[in-house]
């Protein structure tokens, strides 16, 4: 029987995903900048959602220097809609580090890549296997699922000891030749995304089914072990502070829920501090943000902004400009619901 890597690569050449813009080669090599941007976007986001945003991002920030010299606000604005904004901040910070501390030289291996903000073991392995052809195993959600099913493993990918075991198994499956690493990394992710999917895997089309232990024992549905996430209930209030066609927003800090985005300036004091009457209540929204089940109670108040103590944290935004500033998707929806 051919080795796992050989079967995977043969399958990937025919069936792997194509047309990924970050995989366009220049003089036979991948562009490290595009690979890095794509891998950051692909953390927690599917390829289909990343594709349009990646193209928009590259048009706006075509290279490392352009990104490093932009403001964080610009980067977050282009990122808007993709969620998990910490990735945008890390990309921006990473670009500055590569330009100013590394003399514009991209890292040469996974260990160096993992010193760049927001790049963990799996992302550094993916980037380095593509860009440097390094023989290093990636262990993202797709690979984790394949390993658990292939070996009937009850391990989780969050405990250090179990992660170490998984990493050993993933490393054993790598191809012998360095020149095959980029293909291998791409195709194992493709296999997880298109065949060994989290629900209803299509084992009949799987190139590695012959030695898949869960498939051969009709136990695919048992792996990976389901881990129950603990979610928090949280309730917040937004007061839409408006002066005719203008709304007052404020920037969240890094520790707040919508880190670095603009949300309604709820806490700003009016000169005469009074309680909002019940008729100013608009409605409640239920959303999931990170590990929170959130209830957002939305109120509205109209006032003349001259009466308010506006600081540098605030931003006055005209209704025609709302799509140009970085706000959470929920605020876009709220403003749309109330025809702002």
Q: Which residues are catalytic?
A: 39
Which one, 204 or 311, has the nearer CB to ligand SF4? 204
Cβ nearer to ligand SF4, comparing 196 with 239? 196
Judged by CB under 6 A, the chain residues 99 through 128 that form the site for ligand SF4 are none
* Binding residue for ligand SF4, selected from 7, 135, 149, 300, defined by CB under 6 A: 149
Kindly state whether residue 8 participates in binding ligand SF4, applying the rule CB under 6 A.
no
Q: Confirm or reject binding of residue 209 to ligand SF4 (CB under 6 A).
A: yes
Distance, C-alpha 274 to centroid of its chain: 41
Q: Which stretch binds ligand SF4 (CB under 6 A): 118-126, 175-183, 213-221, 290-298?
A: 213-221
What's the maximum distance between 2 C-alpha atoms anywhere in the chain?
A: 80
Selected from 146, 153, 262, 331, the binder of ligand SF4 by CB under 6 A is 146
Distance, in Å, from the CA atom of 171 to the CA atom of 156, rounded to the nearest integer, reads 17
Residue 107 or 201: which CB sits closer to ligand SF4?
Answer: 201
Is residue 16 involved in binding ligand SF4 (CB under 6 A)?
no
Options 50-58, 146-154, 262-270, 276-284: segment touching ligand SF4 (CB under 6 A): 146-154
- The answer to whether residue 64 forms part of the interface with ligand SF4 (CB under 6 A) is no
Near ligand SF4 by CB under 6 A, which window of 9-17, 76-84, 90-98, 207-215? 207-215
CA dihedral 321, 324, 326, 329 (to 10 degrees): 80
Nearest to 334 by CA among 283, 294, 292: 283
Report the residue number, 145 or 314, with the smaller CB distance to ligand SF4: 145
Binding stretches for ligand SF4 (CB under 6 A): 146, 149-150, 195-196, 201, 203, 206, 208-209, 212, 214-215, 220
């Amino acid at each position: 029987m051919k080795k796992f890597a050989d079967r995977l690569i043969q399958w990937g050449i025919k069936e792997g995903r194509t047309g990924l813009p970050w995989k366009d080669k220049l003089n036979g090599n991948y562009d490290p900048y595009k690979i890095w941007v794509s891998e950051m976007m692909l953390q927690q986001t599917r390829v289909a959602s990343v594709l349009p945003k990646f193209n928009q991002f590259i048009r706006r920030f075509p290279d490392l220097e352009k990104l490093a010299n932009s403001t964080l606000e610009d980067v977050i604005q282009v990122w808007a809609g993709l969620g998990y904004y910490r990735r945008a901040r890390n990309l921006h910070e990473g670009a500055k580090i590569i330009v100013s501390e590394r003399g514009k030289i991209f890292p040469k291996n996974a260990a160096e890549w993992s010193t760049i903000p927001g790049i963990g073991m799996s992302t550094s392995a993916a980037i380095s296997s593509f860009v440097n052809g390094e023989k290093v195993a990636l262990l993202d959600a797709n690979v984790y699922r394949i390993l658990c099913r292939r070996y009937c493993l009850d391990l989780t990918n969050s405990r250090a000891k179990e992660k170490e075991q998984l990493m050993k198994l993933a490393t054993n499956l790598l191809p012998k030749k360095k020149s095959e690493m980029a293909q291998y990394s791409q195709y194992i992710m493709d296999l997880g995304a298109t065949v060994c999917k989290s629900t209803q895997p299509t084992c009949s089309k799987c190139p590695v089914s012959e030695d898949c232990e869960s498939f051969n024992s009709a136990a695919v549905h048992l792996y990976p072990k389901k881990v129950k996430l603990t979610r928090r209930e949280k309730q917040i209030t937004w007061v839409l502070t408006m002066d005719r066609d203008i709304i007052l927003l404020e920037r969240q800090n890094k520790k707040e829920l919508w880190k670095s985005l603009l949300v309604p300036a709820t806490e700003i004091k009016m000169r005469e501090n009074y309680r909002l009457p019940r008729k100013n209540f608009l409605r409640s929204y239920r959303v999931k943000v990170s590990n929170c089940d959130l209830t957002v109670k939305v109120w509205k108040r109209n006032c003349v902004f001259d009466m308010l103590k506006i600081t540098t944290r605030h931003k006055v935004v005209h209704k025609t400009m709302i799509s140009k500033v970085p706000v959470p998707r929920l605020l876009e929806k709220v403003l749309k619901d109330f025809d702002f």
